[in-house]
Amino acid sequence: MRVLPSPQAISRMEETLNWTACLEPVDGRIVWMKAHGERWKEICWSAGLHRSAAHQHWQFGLAVIALTLNKRRFNRNLSKQRVIELAGGA
């Protein structure tokens, strides 16, 4: 039996789609793949990255989303590691 999502669930999903709009395509793809439960092996193969690099892109994507949602400004020229640290992810 197939269950249809509620209007509230659809609204929440639409809101989360906007979160990745501020990400580079590779970061957004990794964040979505991980959110959908993909294994790192599949993510690395799909993105063409080693595990450590894919993990850093994932952390960076989450950090950018967190900083954006919390309305914290940050310089886009900062390194990925520094943005992760700013968001409290290190």
Q: What is the mean pLDDT of residues 57-66?
A: 96
29 lies in a domain?
Answer: yes
pLDDT value for 61: 96
Q: State the sign of the Cα–Cα–Cα–Cα dihedral 58, 69, 83, 18.
A: positive
15 lies in a domain?
Answer: no
Per residue in 20-61, pLDDT tens? 888 999 999 999 999 999 999 999 999 999 999 999 999 999
pTM (2 d.p.): 0.82
Question: How many beta carbons lie within 10 A of that of residue 72, not counting itself?
Answer: 10
pLDDT value for 57: 97
4 lies in a domain?
Answer: no
63 lies in a domain?
Answer: yes
By residue range, what is the domain housing residue 29?
25-86
Total domains, the chain: 1
Distance in angstroms (rounded) separating the CA atoms of residues 21 and 43:
19
